[in-house]
């Protein structure tokens, strides 16, 4: 199978995935919770919500920059380039990864996503042990892991993250992936519209930079609710170990990271193929 045929096959896989996103498979409880959250958020004054969303956005921007400039991320970047160079000796920097085929890039990205899903699983299991420090650190650690995973996926597909455009794009992907399943498709369409736009590329991002909203907050509320469940189950011990709470924490964090990394993989695959055709 040549490169064009493989790219066409991948686009068909993405279309099938898009179709799944359009299906609203929520349970009655999930629908009720969503309506309840909407009502509660409507009761909050718009000015207070605006201030809150701005603080969340600022926190994400700052956290993204800290992760991006960390020694760990720089070492991971070098490792990606070394792995890619084993496939093509012409590769010197991240942008050179476009010399590789989509399947080769997906292979590199899959290595990174597998690691981050494992990290998330282990971190969730540790949170399930019930320690106050671990429970308090769960949400910040999950945010760091998931932001970092998207940065790694972006680099694996040849997109450097050290400029405003790529930084904002990765944060938009993160925000879209946080959405409840039934709302991800509308966010996906917005991302694809930007990718297909003729004036999409540049050093600076020219689109809407607002991220946080009521639906993305829903994800964080669910994570907080998860921590409450862990606190309830931590006293159910098996041989002195809170097995139930550990499994709940590990499984919950794993699925959250899996959802986010799958969304990011699909987006950067589509973006790469779309730019190759132009």
Q: What are phi and psi of 209, to 5 degrees?
A: -100, 5
109 and 157 Cβ atoms separated by less than 8 Å: yes
How many residues appear in the chain? 278
In the prediction, which pLDDT does 43 show? 82
| pLDDT score of 155 more than 90 | yes
State what percent of residues in the chain have pLDDT above 70: 92
In the prediction, which pLDDT does 28 show? 78
pTM over 0.85: yes
| Beta-carbon-side half-sphere exposure of residue 64 (alpha carbons within 13 Å) | 23
| pLDDT score of 199 more than 80 | no
State what percent of residues in the chain have pLDDT above 90: 36
Mean pLDDT of 23-48: 79
Q: How far apart are the first and last CA of the chain?
A: 21
Please give the mean pLDDT across all residues of the chain.
85
In the prediction, which pLDDT does 163 show? 84
Which of the residue ranges 97-106, 108-117, 132-141 would you say has the lowest mean pLDDT?
Answer: 132-141
In the prediction, which pLDDT does 26 show? 74
Mean pLDDT of 13-32: 83
Q: pLDDT band for 109, please (50, 70, 90 cuts).
A: very high
In the prediction, which pLDDT does 145 show? 93
Q: pLDDT band for 201, please (50, 70, 90 cuts).
A: low
Using CB atoms within 10 A of its CB, is residue 229 exposed (0-12), middle (13-18) or buried (19+)?
Answer: middle
Structure tokens at 39: 């009502």
Q: pLDDT band for 173, please (50, 70, 90 cuts).
A: very high
Mean pLDDT of 16-33: 81
Mean pLDDT of 95-119: 92
* 245-265: pLDDT as tens digits: 888 889 989 999 999 999 999
In the prediction, which pLDDT does 154 show? 95
Among 129-138, 148-157, 207-216, top mean pLDDT goes to 148-157
In the prediction, which pLDDT does 203 show? 62
CA-CA distances (angstroms) from residue 203 to 68, 241, 271?
A: 17, 51, 17
135 and 127 Cβ atoms separated by less than 8 Å: yes
């Amino acid at each position: 199978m040549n490169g064009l045929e493989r790219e066409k096959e991948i686009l068909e896989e993405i279309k099938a995935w898009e179709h799944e996103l359009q299906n609203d498979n929520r349970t009655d409880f999930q629908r009720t919770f969503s309506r309840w959250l909407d009502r509660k958020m409507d009761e909050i004054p718009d000015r207070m919500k605006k201030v809150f969303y701005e603080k969340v956005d600022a926190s994400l921007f700052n956290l993204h920059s800290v992760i991006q400039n960390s020694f760990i991320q720089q070492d991971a970047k070098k490792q990606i380039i070394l792995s890619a160079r084993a496939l093509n000796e012409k590769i010197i920097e991240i942008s050179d990864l476009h010399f590789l085929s989509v399947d080769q890039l997906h292979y590199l990205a899959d290595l990174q996503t597998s690691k981050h899903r494992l990290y998330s699983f282990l971190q969730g299991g540790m949170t399930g042990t019930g320690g106050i420090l671990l429970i308090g650190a769960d949400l910040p650690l999950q945010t760091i892991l998931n932001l970092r995973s998207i940065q790694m996926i972006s680099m694996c597909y040849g997109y450097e993250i050290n400029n405003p455009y790529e930084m904002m794009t990765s944060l938009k992907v993160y925000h879209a992936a946080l959405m409840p399943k039934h709302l991800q498709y509308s966010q996906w369409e917005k991302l694809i519209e930007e990718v297909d736009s003729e004036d999409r590329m540049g050093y600076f991002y020219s689109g809407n930079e607002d991220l946080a909203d009521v639906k993305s907050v829903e994800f964080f509320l669910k994570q907080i609710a998860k921590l409450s469940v862990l606190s309830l189950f931590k006293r159910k011990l098996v041989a002195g170990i809170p097995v139930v709470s550990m499994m709940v924490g590990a499984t919950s964090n794993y699925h959250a990271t899996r959802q986010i990394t799958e969304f990011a993989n699909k987006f950067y695959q589509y973006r790469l193929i779309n730019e190759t055709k132009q």
